[in-house]
Structures are given as C-alpha cells and as structure tokens.
Amino acid sequence: MASDLGHISSGMSCDFLRLFSNNTDFVELLRFVSEQPGGTRPALGSYRAEWEIDGPTLDVLGPLLPFLDRDSLALVDRGALALRLEEMRSFCLPKEALRDISALFTQKDLLGEPSQWQAGDVEHLGRLVFSLSTKQINSIPLSVLNKDTVEQVLVGQSRWEDSVVGGVCVTQCTDLQRQRKMTQSLLRGIVKARSRRAK
C-alpha cells in the first residue's frame, strides 16, 4: 500500500499527502510539496523490504509518483507503469527526479536503451521523453526523430505547459535551460534530414 512508502517531502507521510490531495486540487498540492524545505524529492521512510509498487499503488500515488526517491522508483512494476504512461504525461516531473525517472524508462523491461527505440516508443513516452539526458536523446536514431513524431512530442509538451498543473510545474520544478537543450536535441533529426535533402 502507499502508506508503506514512508514519507514524501520533509517527513510528511504519504497518508497525509493522500488525504491532503483528496481535499485539494493537484496544483495546490504541487505548490505545497514544492515549497517544503529540502526540495521536492522525498525521503523514503524506514520501509525498504522486498516489495513492489504495483498498479493499484501507482493509481493511489497518481501524480505523486515522480516525487518518490530512487529506491522507491526502483520498486515500480514496469508493466504496470507502461500501462500508465499516457496518464503520467500529465504529471509534473521535478528536475531533481529526471535522472531517476529516465533510468526507470530505459530499463530493459520497459523501453530499453533509446538507441534501440522505434518511433512508437517515442510516441508512447510523448512529453516524458524530456526526462532523458541529452546523451540519451541524441542516441535515439535519426530515422525515429521524424517531423511527425517530434511534432507530436512538442505539441504534447506545449499543451501540458499551458495546463494549470504544467504552468505551476514549469515555474517551480523545471530547469528551463535544460528544457531548451532537450528540445534542440529532439529537433536535430528534422534539421539533419532537411540538410541532407538540401545537398
């Protein structure tokens, strides 16, 4: 159960945040969590047993999932997460969590190495592709980063940024310089394809 996950953000229990989130819209919850001392990443409590964060637990966590620490994210059932990637596209990914989220997405039992991805993998991730490092994005085959696929990702990101949650996340939890760099890395496939055609 989510209550076993310990504590998120300055020692507040998951139960408290779940109760708080039941009576609050997520934007207010996001503001609340991001304003806590120690940043937005959690401190997992004492629960570190052999345990898996399964589908029902992911559903309970909802948009709090990206705020879990590395050890907790490692417990996420990859199959259950794969079924929830579309929903996860609406979540805020705090800059402190990107490396851990990226590691989760690129596990062999989820999407694997970006250098082996097909267009469908990028489309399935959508705006979540921005959790990858520049090196990982640059390893995605150029043939995968075609105009339609990249446009789909960028439109998804833009729509999310225009949402209430996205607006709060961008101002409080996003490294905008990194975001621009990731966008440029995504666009490289289109730019290189055009330059090849121009020759």
Mind listing the pLDDT tens digit for each residue in 88-141?
999 999 888 899 999 999 999 999 999 999 999 999 999 999 999 999 999 999
Enter the tokens of residue 143. Answer: 């043939």
DSSP class of residue 53? B
Confidence check: pLDDT of 57 > 80: yes
Query: Helix or strand or coil: residue 89?
Result: coil
Q: pLDDT by residue (tens digit) across 16-47? A: 444 444 444 555 655 655 565 555 444 443 34
List the chain domain ranges.
2-198
d(CA 13, CA 20): 11
DSSP secondary structure, 73-126, as one string: HTTB-HHHHHTTHHHHTTS---GGGHHHHHHHHTSTTTT--GGG--HHHHHHHG
Query: Helix or strand or coil: residue 199?
Result: coil
DSSP class of residue 67? G
Confidence check: pLDDT of 77 > 90: yes
User: pTM of this prediction?
Assistant: 0.74
């190495």: which residue's tokens?
113
84: confidence class by pLDDT, cuts 50, 70, 90: very high
Task: Supply the mean pLDDT for the chain.
Answer: 79
